[in-house]
Amino acid sequence: MQVTYILKDKSDSYIDNIKSMQAMQAFDYLNKEANGQYAYNVSQKIGNGSFRDKVELNQIMRKEVIQAGFSFSPRKGYILCTFTIA
């Protein structure tokens, strides 16, 4: 399952702070920002955006053992942060 965050207008120190976190810690941090007061700077896309993918992610997150990794890819005007969760 892929979860993608679009980070707009974020500084290099902000990105470095996220890179220094563990994968699930960074996921939780970005999830709180995407669903909180910084939703205009951090947007989230789960899978292909369907409700089924949101349900599947919720089922994965309820498990005790979660394997996750993340990567950054710069784009023009924003940065993509892609998590792969299994």
What confidence tens digit (pLDDT) does each residue in 13-50 have?
Answer: 999 999 999 999 999 999 999 998 878 899 999 999 99
Considering only the C-alpha atoms of the chain, give the largest distance between any 2 of them, rounded to a whole number of Å. Answer: 37
Tokens (6 digits) for 73: 């890819």
pLDDT value of position 37: 86
pLDDT value of position 22: 95
What is the per-residue pLDDT across 52-84, written as a single tens digit (0 to 9) for each? Answer: 999 999 999 898 778 999 999 999 999 999 999
- The H or E element containing residue 57 is helix 51-61
DSSP type of residue 14: H
